Structure 1
Protein backbone atom coordinates (compact mmCIF):
# COMPACT_ATOMS: atom_id res chain seq x y z
CA UNK A 1 0.00 0.00 0.00
CA UNK A 2 1.38 3.40 -0.98
CA UNK A 3 1.98 5.84 1.88
CA UNK A 4 0.28 9.20 1.39
CA UNK A 5 1.96 12.12 3.12
CA UNK A 6 -0.60 14.12 5.15
CA UNK A 7 -0.94 17.87 4.79
CA UNK A 8 0.09 19.87 7.83
CA UNK A 9 -1.94 23.01 8.51
CA UNK A 10 -0.99 25.92 10.76
CA UNK A 11 -3.92 27.49 12.61
CA UNK A 12 -3.75 30.84 14.40
CA UNK A 13 -6.53 31.30 16.93
CA UNK A 14 -7.83 33.33 19.84
CA UNK A 15 -10.19 32.44 22.66
CA UNK A 16 -11.76 33.62 25.86
CA UNK A 17 -10.74 30.96 28.35
CA UNK A 18 -13.47 31.72 30.91
CA UNK A 19 -15.71 28.79 29.98
CA UNK A 20 -12.96 26.34 29.02
CA UNK A 21 -11.20 23.77 31.17
CA UNK A 22 -7.93 24.77 29.53
CA UNK A 23 -6.53 23.81 26.15
CA UNK A 24 -5.97 20.06 26.50
CA UNK A 25 -8.83 17.71 25.62
CA UNK A 26 -10.40 15.99 28.65
CA UNK A 27 -13.32 13.55 28.76
CA UNK A 28 -16.69 15.19 29.48
CA UNK A 29 -15.12 18.66 29.84
CA UNK A 30 -15.25 21.60 27.44
CA UNK A 31 -11.73 22.42 26.25
CA UNK A 32 -10.31 24.47 23.39
CA UNK A 33 -8.62 21.46 21.83
CA UNK A 34 -11.77 19.37 22.06
CA UNK A 35 -13.90 22.08 20.43
CA UNK A 36 -11.35 22.77 17.68
CA UNK A 37 -10.88 19.12 16.77
CA UNK A 38 -14.62 18.51 16.65
CA UNK A 39 -15.02 21.52 14.35
CA UNK A 40 -12.22 20.30 12.06
CA UNK A 41 -13.81 16.87 11.81
CA UNK A 42 -17.17 18.43 10.89
CA UNK A 43 -15.88 20.97 8.37
CA UNK A 44 -13.46 18.59 6.65
CA UNK A 45 -16.05 15.78 6.69
CA UNK A 46 -13.60 13.29 8.11
CA UNK A 47 -14.80 9.76 8.90
CA UNK A 48 -14.95 8.65 12.57
CA UNK A 49 -11.92 6.40 12.14
CA UNK A 50 -9.78 9.29 10.84
CA UNK A 51 -7.70 10.72 13.72
CA UNK A 52 -7.77 14.48 14.26
CA UNK A 53 -5.03 15.57 16.63
CA UNK A 54 -4.02 19.20 17.10
CA UNK A 55 -0.77 20.34 18.70
CA UNK A 56 -0.54 23.83 20.19
CA UNK A 57 2.33 26.17 21.05
CA UNK A 58 1.23 26.67 24.66
CA UNK A 59 -1.20 24.51 26.64
CA UNK A 60 -3.11 27.17 28.54
CA UNK A 61 -4.69 26.31 31.90
CA UNK A 62 -8.34 26.56 32.88
CA UNK A 63 -9.52 30.17 32.61
CA UNK A 64 -6.45 31.48 30.74
CA UNK A 65 -7.11 33.41 27.51
CA UNK A 66 -5.26 33.61 24.19
CA UNK A 67 -4.98 36.12 21.37
CA UNK A 68 -1.98 34.55 19.67
CA UNK A 69 -2.29 30.78 20.10
CA UNK A 70 -0.79 28.68 17.31
CA UNK A 71 -1.62 25.05 16.54
CA UNK A 72 -1.00 22.51 13.81
CA UNK A 73 -2.98 19.54 12.54
CA UNK A 74 -2.20 16.86 9.96
CA UNK A 75 -5.04 16.09 7.55
CA UNK A 76 -5.39 13.92 4.43
CA UNK A 77 -4.33 15.76 1.26
CA UNK A 78 -7.23 17.13 -0.76
CA UNK A 79 -9.76 17.56 2.04
CA UNK A 80 -9.10 21.29 2.39
CA UNK A 81 -9.81 21.89 -1.32
CA UNK A 82 -12.96 19.78 -1.10
CA UNK A 83 -14.21 22.05 1.69
CA UNK A 84 -13.51 25.25 -0.27
CA UNK A 85 -16.92 25.54 -1.91
CA UNK A 86 -17.57 28.95 -3.41
CA UNK A 87 -14.65 30.75 -1.72
CA UNK A 88 -11.61 31.87 -3.72
CA UNK A 89 -9.14 30.37 -1.26
CA UNK A 90 -9.46 26.94 0.32
CA UNK A 91 -7.76 28.26 3.45
CA UNK A 92 -10.10 31.27 3.65
CA UNK A 93 -13.00 28.87 3.29
CA UNK A 94 -11.70 26.78 6.15
CA UNK A 95 -11.43 29.84 8.41
CA UNK A 96 -15.01 30.88 7.61
CA UNK A 97 -16.46 27.42 8.03
CA UNK A 98 -14.60 26.64 11.24
CA UNK A 99 -15.82 29.90 12.77
CA UNK A 100 -19.33 29.05 11.59
CA UNK A 101 -19.21 25.82 13.60
CA UNK A 102 -17.29 27.02 16.67
CA UNK A 103 -18.90 28.98 19.50
CA UNK A 104 -18.01 32.67 19.52
CA UNK A 105 -15.61 32.42 22.48
CA UNK A 106 -13.03 30.79 20.19
CA UNK A 107 -12.09 32.18 16.77
CA UNK A 108 -9.77 30.83 14.09
CA UNK A 109 -7.96 33.81 12.60
CA UNK A 110 -5.84 32.15 9.94
CA UNK A 111 -5.23 28.77 8.33
CA UNK A 112 -2.25 28.16 6.04
CA UNK A 113 -0.27 25.20 4.77
CA UNK A 114 2.58 24.83 7.25
CA UNK A 115 6.15 25.17 5.95
CA UNK A 116 8.32 22.07 5.88
CA UNK A 117 9.62 21.28 9.37
CA UNK A 118 6.99 23.35 11.18
CA UNK A 119 5.82 22.13 14.59
CA UNK A 120 3.58 24.51 16.53
CA UNK A 121 5.11 23.45 19.83
CA UNK A 122 8.71 22.51 19.18
CA UNK A 123 9.54 25.02 16.43
CA UNK A 124 8.60 27.99 18.63
CA UNK A 125 11.46 30.12 19.93
CA UNK A 126 9.42 31.95 22.54
CA UNK A 127 5.95 32.63 23.94
CA UNK A 128 4.77 36.01 25.20
CA UNK A 129 2.11 36.34 27.87
CA UNK A 130 0.55 39.44 29.41
CA UNK A 131 -0.96 39.61 32.90
CA UNK A 132 -3.30 42.52 33.64
CA UNK A 133 -4.08 43.97 37.08
CA UNK A 134 -6.14 46.91 38.38
CA UNK A 135 -5.25 47.99 41.92
CA UNK A 136 -7.60 51.00 42.16
CA UNK A 137 -11.26 50.10 42.81
CA UNK A 138 -12.33 53.30 41.07
CA UNK A 139 -10.76 52.08 37.81
CA UNK A 140 -12.34 48.64 37.69
CA UNK A 141 -14.21 48.18 34.41
CA UNK A 142 -17.01 45.61 34.70
CA UNK A 143 -16.77 45.00 30.96
CA UNK A 144 -13.21 43.64 31.28
CA UNK A 145 -13.53 41.95 34.68
CA UNK A 146 -13.08 38.54 33.07
CA UNK A 147 -9.62 39.47 31.76
CA UNK A 148 -8.14 41.75 34.43
CA UNK A 149 -7.33 40.88 38.05
CA UNK A 150 -8.87 43.29 40.55
CA UNK A 151 -6.38 43.72 43.40
CA UNK A 152 -7.58 45.36 46.65
CA UNK A 153 -4.28 47.02 47.63
CA UNK A 154 -1.99 49.49 45.84
CA UNK A 155 1.03 47.97 44.08
CA UNK A 156 4.50 49.49 43.70
CA UNK A 157 5.34 48.83 40.05
CA UNK A 158 8.94 50.06 40.43
CA UNK A 159 9.61 47.56 43.22
CA UNK A 160 8.09 44.74 41.15
CA UNK A 161 10.28 45.73 38.20
CA UNK A 162 13.43 45.71 40.33
CA UNK A 163 12.55 42.34 41.86
CA UNK A 164 11.96 40.82 38.41
CA UNK A 165 15.57 41.32 37.30
CA UNK A 166 16.83 38.46 39.48
CA UNK A 167 14.58 36.02 37.60
CA UNK A 168 15.85 36.63 34.06
CA UNK A 169 17.99 34.16 32.13
CA UNK A 170 18.23 30.39 31.93
CA UNK A 171 17.23 29.09 35.35
CA UNK A 172 15.63 26.17 37.11
CA UNK A 173 12.14 27.47 37.85
CA UNK A 174 11.15 24.54 40.09
CA UNK A 175 10.11 27.09 42.74
CA UNK A 176 7.48 28.47 40.38
CA UNK A 177 6.22 25.32 38.67
CA UNK A 178 3.96 22.41 39.43
CA UNK A 179 6.27 19.47 38.87
CA UNK A 180 5.41 16.81 36.32
CA UNK A 181 7.06 13.40 36.39
CA UNK A 182 10.02 13.26 34.05
CA UNK A 183 9.70 16.92 32.94
CA UNK A 184 12.45 19.49 33.32
CA UNK A 185 11.76 22.84 34.99
CA UNK A 186 14.70 24.61 33.33
CA UNK A 187 13.53 27.55 31.24
CA UNK A 188 15.02 30.73 29.76
CA UNK A 189 13.10 33.80 30.90
CA UNK A 190 13.79 36.40 28.21
CA UNK A 191 11.75 39.29 29.57
CA UNK A 192 9.67 40.14 32.63
CA UNK A 193 8.56 43.75 32.78
CA UNK A 194 5.90 45.78 34.57
CA UNK A 195 4.24 49.00 33.43
CA UNK A 196 1.38 51.14 34.67
CA UNK A 197 -0.59 52.28 31.64
CA UNK A 198 -2.19 55.75 31.32
CA UNK A 199 -5.51 54.08 32.15
CA UNK A 200 -4.08 53.02 35.53
CA UNK A 201 -4.04 49.34 34.60
CA UNK A 202 -0.86 47.43 35.43
CA UNK A 203 0.51 45.25 32.66
CA UNK A 204 3.10 42.52 33.19
CA UNK A 205 4.79 41.22 30.03
CA UNK A 206 6.47 37.82 30.34
CA UNK A 207 8.44 36.18 27.53
CA UNK A 208 10.34 32.90 27.65
CA UNK A 209 11.44 30.08 25.38
CA UNK A 210 8.79 27.97 27.14
CA UNK A 211 6.83 27.84 30.39
CA UNK A 212 6.15 25.01 32.80
CA UNK A 213 2.79 24.45 34.48
CA UNK A 214 1.54 27.53 36.43
CA UNK A 215 4.89 29.29 36.00
CA UNK A 216 3.64 32.71 34.83
CA UNK A 217 0.90 32.91 37.43
CA UNK A 218 3.34 31.88 40.17
CA UNK A 219 5.81 34.56 39.10
CA UNK A 220 3.04 37.16 39.13
CA UNK A 221 1.81 36.04 42.56
CA UNK A 222 5.34 36.24 43.96
CA UNK A 223 5.92 39.73 42.57
CA UNK A 224 2.55 41.00 43.78
CA UNK A 225 3.76 40.21 47.31
CA UNK A 226 6.69 42.55 46.66
CA UNK A 227 4.48 45.19 45.06
CA UNK A 228 2.22 45.50 48.09
CA UNK A 229 5.16 45.51 50.52
CA UNK A 230 4.67 42.11 52.18
CA UNK A 231 8.05 40.89 50.93
CA UNK A 232 11.35 42.66 50.14
CA UNK A 233 12.65 43.18 46.62
CA UNK A 234 15.20 40.40 47.18
CA UNK A 235 12.56 37.77 47.99
CA UNK A 236 11.72 36.46 44.45
CA UNK A 237 15.42 35.78 43.83
CA UNK A 238 15.63 33.89 47.12
CA UNK A 239 12.56 31.83 46.22
CA UNK A 240 14.11 30.98 42.85
CA UNK A 241 17.41 29.92 44.43
CA UNK A 242 15.63 27.50 46.79
CA UNK A 243 14.56 25.36 43.77
CA UNK A 244 11.45 24.12 45.54
CA UNK A 245 7.85 25.25 45.80
CA UNK A 246 7.24 27.74 48.57
CA UNK A 247 3.84 27.84 50.32
CA UNK A 248 4.34 31.61 50.58
CA UNK A 249 4.03 32.01 46.80
CA UNK A 250 0.38 32.41 45.83
CA UNK A 251 -0.54 31.46 42.26
CA UNK A 252 -2.32 34.45 40.71
CA UNK A 253 -5.83 33.97 39.33
CA UNK A 254 -6.06 32.56 35.82
CA UNK A 255 -8.39 35.17 34.30
CA UNK A 256 -5.76 37.95 34.29
CA UNK A 257 -3.48 36.00 31.96
CA UNK A 258 -3.46 36.02 28.14
CA UNK A 259 -1.17 34.28 25.65
CA UNK A 260 -0.46 37.14 23.26
CA UNK A 261 2.12 35.88 20.77
CA UNK A 262 4.32 32.96 19.75
CA UNK A 263 7.61 33.59 17.95
CA UNK A 264 9.07 31.31 15.27
CA UNK A 265 12.34 31.38 13.32
CA UNK A 266 12.51 31.73 9.50
CA UNK A 267 11.05 28.81 7.56
CA UNK A 268 14.44 27.30 6.75
CA UNK A 269 15.28 27.09 10.48
CA UNK A 270 12.02 25.51 11.71
CA UNK A 271 13.18 21.89 11.67
CA UNK A 272 16.49 22.71 13.39
CA UNK A 273 14.66 24.70 16.07
CA UNK A 274 12.30 21.78 16.70
CA UNK A 275 15.26 19.41 17.10
CA UNK A 276 16.97 21.82 19.51
CA UNK A 277 13.82 22.23 21.61
CA UNK A 278 13.34 18.47 21.98
CA UNK A 279 16.67 18.10 23.75
CA UNK A 280 16.12 17.81 27.50
CA UNK A 281 17.73 20.54 29.60
CA UNK A 282 19.10 19.93 33.08
Structure 2
Protein backbone atom coordinates (compact mmCIF):
# COMPACT_ATOMS: atom_id res chain seq x y z
CA UNK A 1 0.00 0.00 0.00
CA UNK A 2 2.87 2.39 0.76
CA UNK A 3 4.23 1.74 -2.72
CA UNK A 4 0.85 2.62 -4.22
CA UNK A 5 0.68 5.88 -2.25
CA UNK A 6 4.21 6.81 -3.36
CA UNK A 7 3.29 6.09 -6.98
CA UNK A 8 0.10 8.14 -6.68
CA UNK A 9 2.07 11.08 -5.25
CA UNK A 10 4.53 10.79 -8.14
CA UNK A 11 1.59 10.54 -10.53
CA UNK A 12 0.06 13.70 -9.10
CA UNK A 13 3.30 15.60 -9.65
CA UNK A 14 3.66 14.23 -13.18
CA UNK A 15 0.06 15.26 -13.84
CA UNK A 16 0.86 18.92 -13.17
CA UNK A 17 3.60 18.74 -15.81
CA UNK A 18 1.25 16.91 -18.17
CA UNK A 19 -1.27 19.72 -17.66
CA UNK A 20 1.30 22.22 -18.96
CA UNK A 21 1.90 20.05 -22.03
CA UNK A 22 -1.83 19.58 -22.56
CA UNK A 23 -2.64 23.29 -22.40
CA UNK A 24 0.27 24.16 -24.69
CA UNK A 25 -0.84 21.60 -27.28
CA UNK A 26 -4.54 22.32 -26.80
CA UNK A 27 -4.18 26.04 -27.49
CA UNK A 28 -2.97 25.34 -31.03
CA UNK A 29 -5.22 22.34 -31.67
CA UNK A 30 -8.36 24.10 -30.43
CA UNK A 31 -7.66 27.49 -32.04
CA UNK A 32 -6.19 26.49 -35.40
CA UNK A 33 -7.53 22.95 -35.84
CA UNK A 34 -4.37 21.13 -36.83
CA UNK A 35 -1.96 18.68 -35.21
CA UNK A 36 1.14 20.70 -34.27
CA UNK A 37 3.75 17.90 -34.27
CA UNK A 38 6.62 20.41 -34.21
CA UNK A 39 5.48 21.00 -30.61
CA UNK A 40 7.72 18.09 -29.63
CA UNK A 41 10.70 19.87 -31.20
CA UNK A 42 9.92 23.09 -29.32
CA UNK A 43 9.98 21.01 -26.12
CA UNK A 44 13.57 20.04 -26.93
CA UNK A 45 14.64 23.55 -27.96
CA UNK A 46 13.74 25.06 -24.59
CA UNK A 47 15.81 22.72 -22.43
CA UNK A 48 18.77 22.34 -24.76
CA UNK A 49 19.08 26.10 -25.13
CA UNK A 50 19.20 26.39 -21.33
CA UNK A 51 21.77 23.57 -21.16
CA UNK A 52 23.96 25.30 -23.77
CA UNK A 53 23.97 28.60 -21.87
CA UNK A 54 24.77 26.92 -18.56
CA UNK A 55 27.41 24.45 -19.72
CA UNK A 56 29.11 26.41 -22.51
CA UNK A 57 28.77 30.02 -21.39
CA UNK A 58 28.66 29.44 -17.61
CA UNK A 59 25.63 31.68 -17.21
CA UNK A 60 23.12 31.59 -14.37
CA UNK A 61 20.66 28.71 -14.54
CA UNK A 62 17.75 31.12 -14.03
CA UNK A 63 18.88 33.32 -16.92
CA UNK A 64 19.53 30.23 -19.04
CA UNK A 65 16.07 28.80 -18.37
CA UNK A 66 14.50 32.13 -19.29
CA UNK A 67 16.60 32.24 -22.46
CA UNK A 68 15.47 28.71 -23.31
CA UNK A 69 11.86 29.81 -22.99
CA UNK A 70 12.49 32.87 -25.16
CA UNK A 71 14.26 30.79 -27.80
CA UNK A 72 11.34 28.35 -27.91
CA UNK A 73 8.93 31.25 -28.43
CA UNK A 74 11.07 32.73 -31.20
CA UNK A 75 11.40 29.37 -32.99
CA UNK A 76 7.63 28.88 -32.74
CA UNK A 77 6.98 32.32 -34.24
CA UNK A 78 9.55 31.64 -36.97
CA UNK A 79 7.83 28.35 -37.88
CA UNK A 80 4.43 30.07 -37.96
CA UNK A 81 5.55 32.99 -40.14
CA UNK A 82 7.76 31.07 -42.58
CA UNK A 83 5.94 27.72 -42.85
CA UNK A 84 2.45 27.46 -41.38
CA UNK A 85 1.12 30.88 -42.37
CA UNK A 86 2.13 30.64 -46.06
CA UNK A 87 0.38 27.26 -46.26
CA UNK A 88 -2.66 28.68 -44.46
CA UNK A 89 -2.90 31.50 -47.00
CA UNK A 90 -2.97 28.88 -49.77
CA UNK A 91 -5.88 27.14 -47.99
CA UNK A 92 -3.77 24.02 -47.63
CA UNK A 93 -5.52 21.06 -46.01
CA UNK A 94 -4.74 19.79 -42.52
CA UNK A 95 -3.12 16.66 -43.96
CA UNK A 96 -0.37 18.68 -45.64
CA UNK A 97 0.21 20.72 -42.48
CA UNK A 98 0.47 17.46 -40.53
CA UNK A 99 3.27 16.21 -42.80
CA UNK A 100 5.04 19.59 -42.81
CA UNK A 101 4.88 19.81 -39.03
CA UNK A 102 6.28 16.28 -38.74
CA UNK A 103 9.15 17.31 -41.00
CA UNK A 104 9.93 20.32 -38.79
CA UNK A 105 9.97 18.10 -35.72
CA UNK A 106 12.38 15.64 -37.36
CA UNK A 107 14.71 18.49 -38.39
CA UNK A 108 14.75 20.00 -34.89
CA UNK A 109 15.25 16.62 -33.23
CA UNK A 110 18.15 15.64 -35.48
CA UNK A 111 19.86 19.03 -35.26
CA UNK A 112 19.78 18.80 -31.46
CA UNK A 113 21.11 15.24 -31.56
CA UNK A 114 23.95 16.30 -33.87
CA UNK A 115 24.94 19.23 -31.66
CA UNK A 116 24.46 17.76 -28.18
CA UNK A 117 24.58 14.00 -28.73
CA UNK A 118 22.00 11.38 -27.77
CA UNK A 119 22.98 10.91 -24.14
CA UNK A 120 20.90 12.29 -21.27
CA UNK A 121 21.76 15.81 -20.13
CA UNK A 122 20.47 17.65 -17.09
CA UNK A 123 20.39 21.09 -15.50
CA UNK A 124 21.80 21.36 -11.99
CA UNK A 125 19.15 23.34 -10.16
CA UNK A 126 20.12 24.86 -6.76
CA UNK A 127 17.28 23.14 -4.90
CA UNK A 128 18.11 19.97 -3.02
CA UNK A 129 16.64 17.82 -0.31
CA UNK A 130 13.32 16.13 0.23
CA UNK A 131 10.45 15.71 2.66
CA UNK A 132 9.31 12.37 3.99
CA UNK A 133 6.22 11.08 5.71
CA UNK A 134 7.01 7.55 6.72
CA UNK A 135 8.24 5.83 3.59
CA UNK A 136 6.63 8.43 1.28
CA UNK A 137 9.29 10.78 -0.13
CA UNK A 138 8.78 13.99 -2.10
CA UNK A 139 11.76 16.03 -3.31
CA UNK A 140 11.80 19.82 -3.23
CA UNK A 141 12.13 19.86 -7.01
CA UNK A 142 8.93 17.79 -7.28
CA UNK A 143 7.14 20.30 -5.06
CA UNK A 144 8.42 23.11 -7.29
CA UNK A 145 7.17 21.22 -10.36
CA UNK A 146 3.72 20.64 -8.91
CA UNK A 147 3.00 24.17 -7.74
CA UNK A 148 4.56 25.83 -10.81
CA UNK A 149 2.39 23.71 -13.11
CA UNK A 150 -0.78 24.39 -11.14
CA UNK A 151 -0.16 28.15 -10.83
CA UNK A 152 0.71 28.67 -14.51
CA UNK A 153 -2.34 26.74 -15.70
CA UNK A 154 -4.59 28.57 -13.22
CA UNK A 155 -3.33 31.99 -14.36
CA UNK A 156 -4.07 31.16 -17.98
CA UNK A 157 -7.54 29.86 -17.09
CA UNK A 158 -8.31 33.12 -15.29
CA UNK A 159 -7.15 35.09 -18.34
CA UNK A 160 -9.44 33.11 -20.64
CA UNK A 161 -12.35 33.87 -18.32
CA UNK A 162 -11.70 37.56 -17.62
CA UNK A 163 -9.84 38.99 -20.61
CA UNK A 164 -11.75 39.72 -23.83
CA UNK A 165 -8.73 39.19 -26.06
CA UNK A 166 -8.05 35.77 -24.58
CA UNK A 167 -11.72 34.91 -25.01
CA UNK A 168 -11.29 35.76 -28.68
CA UNK A 169 -8.38 33.29 -28.89
CA UNK A 170 -10.74 30.57 -27.75
CA UNK A 171 -13.38 31.67 -30.26
CA UNK A 172 -10.89 31.34 -33.14
CA UNK A 173 -11.45 27.61 -33.12
CA UNK A 174 -15.19 28.01 -33.69
CA UNK A 175 -15.33 30.75 -36.32
CA UNK A 176 -12.06 32.33 -37.50
CA UNK A 177 -13.91 34.46 -40.06
CA UNK A 178 -15.97 36.05 -37.28
CA UNK A 179 -12.73 37.08 -35.58
CA UNK A 180 -11.77 39.03 -38.69
CA UNK A 181 -15.23 40.59 -38.97
CA UNK A 182 -15.04 41.78 -35.36
CA UNK A 183 -11.79 43.57 -36.15
CA UNK A 184 -9.34 41.38 -34.25
CA UNK A 185 -5.84 41.03 -35.81
CA UNK A 186 -6.20 37.41 -36.89
CA UNK A 187 -2.59 36.82 -37.96
CA UNK A 188 -1.22 38.45 -34.82
CA UNK A 189 -3.53 36.26 -32.80
CA UNK A 190 -2.08 33.20 -34.52
CA UNK A 191 1.38 34.36 -33.47
CA UNK A 192 0.13 34.76 -29.91
CA UNK A 193 -1.31 31.23 -30.00
CA UNK A 194 2.05 29.75 -30.96
CA UNK A 195 3.88 31.95 -28.45
CA UNK A 196 1.65 30.85 -25.58
CA UNK A 197 1.96 27.25 -26.67
CA UNK A 198 5.77 27.57 -26.59
CA UNK A 199 5.68 29.11 -23.10
CA UNK A 200 3.69 26.19 -21.70
CA UNK A 201 5.78 23.48 -23.32
CA UNK A 202 9.02 25.26 -22.32
CA UNK A 203 8.04 25.43 -18.67
CA UNK A 204 7.12 21.76 -18.72
CA UNK A 205 10.41 20.94 -20.47
CA UNK A 206 12.80 22.75 -18.13
CA UNK A 207 10.94 21.58 -15.02
CA UNK A 208 11.41 18.01 -16.19
CA UNK A 209 15.05 18.56 -17.17
CA UNK A 210 16.07 19.86 -13.74
CA UNK A 211 14.66 16.66 -12.26
CA UNK A 212 15.39 13.69 -14.54
CA UNK A 213 17.24 15.23 -17.48
CA UNK A 214 16.46 15.16 -21.19
CA UNK A 215 17.57 13.46 -24.40
CA UNK A 216 16.62 14.15 -28.04
CA UNK A 217 14.19 11.22 -28.15
CA UNK A 218 11.70 12.51 -25.56
CA UNK A 219 10.21 15.25 -27.74
CA UNK A 220 7.70 12.91 -29.39
CA UNK A 221 6.67 11.52 -26.00
CA UNK A 222 6.01 15.07 -24.73
CA UNK A 223 3.91 15.79 -27.82
CA UNK A 224 1.87 12.61 -27.40
CA UNK A 225 1.29 13.23 -23.69
CA UNK A 226 -0.13 16.67 -24.47
CA UNK A 227 -2.21 15.40 -27.39
CA UNK A 228 -3.60 12.38 -25.53
CA UNK A 229 -4.52 14.49 -22.50
CA UNK A 230 -6.41 16.94 -24.74
CA UNK A 231 -8.24 14.22 -26.67
CA UNK A 232 -9.10 12.18 -23.57
CA UNK A 233 -10.21 15.25 -21.62
CA UNK A 234 -12.21 16.84 -24.43
CA UNK A 235 -10.92 19.08 -27.20
CA UNK A 236 -13.41 21.89 -26.55
CA UNK A 237 -12.97 22.10 -22.78
CA UNK A 238 -10.04 23.79 -21.05
CA UNK A 239 -10.98 22.04 -17.82
CA UNK A 240 -11.12 18.83 -19.83
CA UNK A 241 -7.50 19.27 -20.92
CA UNK A 242 -6.37 19.59 -17.32
CA UNK A 243 -8.60 16.74 -16.19
CA UNK A 244 -7.25 14.60 -19.02
CA UNK A 245 -3.68 15.37 -17.94
CA UNK A 246 -4.38 14.38 -14.33
CA UNK A 247 -6.33 11.32 -15.40
CA UNK A 248 -3.40 10.28 -17.60
CA UNK A 249 -0.80 10.87 -14.88
CA UNK A 250 -2.73 8.94 -12.23
CA UNK A 251 -3.61 6.18 -14.70
CA UNK A 252 0.08 5.69 -15.48
CA UNK A 253 0.90 5.60 -11.75
CA UNK A 254 -1.63 2.86 -11.09
CA UNK A 255 -0.46 0.92 -14.15
CA UNK A 256 3.11 0.93 -12.80
CA UNK A 257 1.80 -0.43 -9.48
CA UNK A 258 -0.18 -3.21 -11.11
CA UNK A 259 2.18 -4.06 -13.95
CA UNK A 260 5.52 -2.39 -14.68
CA UNK A 261 6.85 0.94 -15.88
CA UNK A 262 7.69 -0.84 -19.15
CA UNK A 263 3.95 -1.16 -19.81
CA UNK A 264 2.96 2.44 -19.01
CA UNK A 265 3.10 3.73 -22.59
CA UNK A 266 1.12 0.76 -23.92
CA UNK A 267 -1.57 1.34 -21.31
CA UNK A 268 -1.60 5.08 -22.08
CA UNK A 269 -2.19 4.50 -25.80
CA UNK A 270 -4.79 1.87 -24.99
CA UNK A 271 -6.60 4.56 -23.00
CA UNK A 272 -6.48 6.84 -26.04
CA UNK A 273 -7.87 4.16 -28.34
CA UNK A 274 -10.69 3.32 -25.92
CA UNK A 275 -11.56 7.01 -25.64
CA UNK A 276 -11.71 7.43 -29.42
CA UNK A 277 -13.84 4.31 -29.76
CA UNK A 278 -16.35 4.82 -26.97
CA UNK A 279 -16.23 8.52 -26.02
CA UNK A 280 -14.63 10.46 -28.88
CA UNK A 281 -15.84 13.80 -27.48
CA UNK A 282 -13.64 13.22 -24.40
CA UNK A 283 -14.40 13.08 -20.71
CA UNK A 284 -15.94 16.54 -20.83
CA UNK A 285 -18.00 17.39 -23.91
CA UNK A 286 -19.19 20.89 -24.71
CA UNK A 287 -22.52 21.08 -26.49
CA UNK A 288 -22.61 23.84 -29.11
CA UNK A 289 -25.76 25.59 -30.18
CA UNK A 290 -26.84 25.21 -33.79
CA UNK A 291 -27.82 28.22 -35.82
Q: Whose helix fraction is larger, Structure 1's or Structure 2's?
A: 2
TM normalised by structure 2 equals 0.23
TM normalised by structure 1 equals 0.24
Q: Whose strand fraction is larger, Structure 1's or Structure 2's?
A: 1
Q: Which has the larger radius of gyration?
A: 1
**Greater relative CO, 1 or 2 (CA 8 Å, sep 6+):** 2
